[in-house]
Amino acid sequence: MSNQKICLIGLGYVGLPLAVAFAEKFQVIGFDINSLRIQELESGYDRTLEIEDDLLSSVKSNISYTSDIQDAKDCNIYIVTVPTPIDKANRPDLTPLIESSKIIGTVLNQDDIVIYESTVYPGVTEDICVPELEKSSGMVFNKDFYCGYSPERINPGDKEHTVTKILKVIAGSTPEIAQQVDNLYKQVITAGTYMASSIKVAEASKVIENTQRDVNIALMNELALIFDQMDIDTNEVLEAAATKWNFIKLTPGLVGGHCIGVDPYYLTFKAEELGYKPDLILASRQINNGMSKYIANQTIKEMIKVGKVIKNSNVLMLGVTFKEDCPDIRNTKVVDIIDELKDFDINVDVYDPWVDSNEEKKWYKHGIISNPLDDNKKYDAIVVAVAHKQFKKYTAETYSQLSNGKEVVIDIKNIVPNPTWRL
């Protein structure tokens, strides 16, 4: 397989780590429509912080970056790692996949293989992407070119479970192609591979991974809502229940990011299209989407309890990314808390040491600030929204220093020793 030349389409949280992994064994072209992203990678900087600068430098001789697909016309493997978002109606937006397929078709050659990694509902690769490849290439699927599917499993910000250490599910459009795709990934995935019987099975396996997590977290969130009404500490309940060997211990919280809060809608869309209403999955989505409003309301209630005037009060939001120790702000539900608070004429400052300076411009409307500990501003309430390692170091004195009079500390992530209220 050493004669293979690989093109990665999309250089985000998934594409770049995979491109770097392959670059240790193969010649790689990294393609992205974002010219700024290309410039940064050429200079050896990864804004997602997934790849260290020295690692980018070590594979520099085997990888090049471009926004011109013609630079990849001599590749014979194309791996698509573009986003698969949802629209405002929570319906799949396949535009990035469709556009990627169109441009790949313009450089496709005989016997090339196009492998998709993006999370989709079963059937998208063969029913949506393949026709676009055929149309733009003028070639015939499974005669002139072939397809594979290997769903991404990268966990942004996780330095332990990196791309090469996560077992890879793979599938091909023919048994022979499946074997070729398997052999390709085995070159770089030290955790091994699992060959699914078809592309549709592989697609389905990925979309249910995050659907299962979404449903499980929704149960924890609903329990938290119930126990909060009973004035019972949910975390204490979970600790007690976890003493039984078969209790699955999860914690309540916000469900954001590009995966768990999005992927279930791909499955429910296809299910409803086939005439089946997935009540459990949709109910879970409703519960998880409602947590931001609940947290905002609880924050206001706790402020009222200690006599705070809500209108024009000041609230500090600690963290805005969708998860800890990661700069990823895609589909973060912290923003929904901010919007709810602002509906009550509350001034909200956001501090997040992980947000890239280029991203701050997008978030300026939410009042991103520099380290509040370097300022004298005081806050009527503090919401600990993300469990960044910097915030785990905060002490009771830290919150006292930031507070205006009686402290109101809302702890969403269970990292504050004695908060005013905890989810």
pLDDT tens-place string over residues 190-206: 999 999 999 999 999 99
- When the pLDDT of each residue in the chain is averaged and rounded to a whole number, the result is 93
> What 3-state class would DSSP assign to 290?
coil
Residue 259 has pLDDT above 70, yes or no: yes
Integer Cα distance of 384 and 392 in angstroms: 10
Question: Which CATH topology does 290-422 take?
Answer: Rossmann fold (3.40.50)
Q: What is the pLDDT of residue 252?
A: 93
Average pLDDT value for residue range 52-57: 90
Of the candidates 398, 306, 378, 295, the one whose C-alpha atom is nearest the C-alpha of residue 339 is: 295
| Average pLDDT, integer, range 20-30 | 95
Mean of the pLDDT values across residues 344-363? 80
- In terms of Cα–Cα distance, which of 199, 160, 161, 195 is closest to 179? 195
User: For residue 78, is pLDDT > 80?
Assistant: yes
Average pLDDT on 177-195 reads: 96
Q: Is 259 a catalytic residue?
A: yes
- pLDDT band per the 50, 70, 90 thresholds, residue 328: confident
Instruction: Report the pLDDT averaged over residues 341-357.
Output: 90
- How confident is residue 15, by pLDDT bands cut at 50, 70 and 90? very high
Report the alpha-carbon distance of residue 399 to residue 403 in Å, rounded. Answer: 6
Global pTM?
0.91
Question: Bridge-partner residues for 381, per DSSP?
Answer: 315
**pLDDT-derived band at 1, boundaries 50, 70, 90:** very low
Q: DSSP per residue over 347-410, as a string?
A: EEEEE-TTS-HHHHTTTGGGTB-S-GGGS---BSEEEE-S--HHHHT--HHHHHHHBSSS--EE
Q: In what order do the strands lie in the sheet with 347-351?
A: 347-351, 314-318, 381-384, 409-411, 421-422
Top CATH class, 5-198? alpha beta
Residue of 75, 129, 259, 326 marked catalytic: 259
What is the location of CATH 3.40.50.720 in the chain? 5-198, 290-422
Residue 155: per-residue pLDDT = 79
Question: Amino acid letter at 396?
Answer: A
Note the pLDDT of residue 49.
86
What per-residue confidence (pLDDT) applies to 256? Answer: 86
